[in-house]
A = this chain, B = another copy of it.
């Protein structure tokens, strides 16, 4: 087994479920810290800021600093800034997306935008969708922070960003560039942030279709943990398998 120098760690289903900490998550992160192994918490969540997510983790007993959190909103903002630091961006999204765009020094604009960026927005309305369509039809590049079609909540599965984004893709006929897992955009940005090479980094997650595929798509080794969405039975149906699987992260502690 390789001696991995850095870790990318999914949140929902890997560190916590909703508001509940997963049992062996704190010990796993503690050991990463003790061994001085650089790591990022990697989430498709585009609505929260780094600080809000770090606070949530700390509140559950999972030691984390703001700079260890990397969201699809941050990856999106970094992607745009690298492509065109002077870009005008029309953005639909919540605090996490707006903060990330501001942090990258990007200019927000309702009209003549170079980019239309959509992240989950529970204050979505027709006017925002109309402006997104008009800008995309006028040639703006269309970007989606993540393609998740549903969000698990206590009420059931509510529409996710992939569903909201489909208004604009259906109306304009243009598909968005999706940054979040399983796409490689978020992985490329996270690896830049970590500063460690791909072949020394392990992607850890519970969801085959997002976390594990993201790792595979980015050429990383992957560690699948069965504390979240994908079950052992479901995993058997896939041809391409994760590099490693464990029942809980406790089973990985002696590999660190």
Task: Give the interface residue-count category, chain A.
Answer: 20 to 34
Q: A149-B171, A167-B167, A170-B166 are in contact. Are A159 and B122 (CB under 8 A)?
A: no
Query: Using Cβ atoms and an 8 Å threshold, which residues of chain B touch A156?
Result: 133-134, 137-138
Which residue of chain B is the closest to A126 with respect to CB atoms? B122
Q: Is the CB of A149 within 8 A of B163?
A: no
Please tell me if A228 contacts chain B, counting CB pairs below 8 Å. no
B164 and A167 contact, CB distance less than 8 A: yes
Query: Assuming A125-B125, A126-B121, is B170 touching A157 (CB within 8 A)?
Result: no
Select A155's contact among B130, B157, B158, beta carbons within 8 Å: B130
Query: Which of B121, B122, B162, B168 lies in contact with A163, CB distance below 8 A?
Result: B168
- The residue in chain B whose Cβ has the minimal distance to the Cβ of A149 is B171
- Which residues of B lie under 8 Å from residue A124 when comparing CB positions? 124-126, 129
CA gap between A181 and B160 in the complex, in Å: 29
Flag whether A256 is at the interface (Cβ < 8 A). no
Residues of B within 8 A of A137 (CB): 156-157
CA distance A129 to B150 in the complex (A): 12
Bound form: Cα–Cα A168–B162 in Å: 11
Q: Which residue of B lies closest to A138 (CB)?
A: B156
In whole Å, how far is A48's beta carbon from the nearest beta carbon of chain B? 16
A123 to B125, CA, bound (A): 7
A59 to B52, CA, bound (A): 56
Q: How many copies does the complex hold?
A: 2
- Given the known interface contacts A121-B126, A126-B121, A126-B124, the answer about A163 and B157 at a Cβ–Cβ threshold of 8 Å is no
- Proximity string of chain A (25-42) to chain B, C-beta cutoff 8 Å, 1 when within and 0 when not: 000000000000000000
Segment 135-173 of A: residues with Cβ below 8 Å from B: 137-138, 149-150, 155-160, 162-164, 166-173
Q: Are A171 and B155 touching (Cβ within 8 A)?
A: no
Which of B134, B163, B170 touches A171 (beta carbons < 8 Å)?
Answer: B163
Q: A164-B167, A167-B167, A171-B149 are in contact. Are A159 and B121 (CB under 8 A)?
A: no
The residue in A137, A163, A173 that gathers the most chain B C-beta atoms within 10 A of its C-beta is A163
Contact indicator B155/A134 (Cβ below 8 Å): yes
Question: What are the residues of chain B within 8 A of A172 when measuring CB–CB?
Answer: 150, 157
CB distance from A119 to the nearest CB of B (A): 13
Can you pick out 13 interface pairs between chain A and chain B where the beta carbons lie within 8 Å of each other?
A: A124-B126, A126-B158, A133-B150, A133-B158, A134-B156, A137-B156, A137-B157, A138-B156, A158-B171, A159-B167, A160-B171, A163-B166, A163-B167
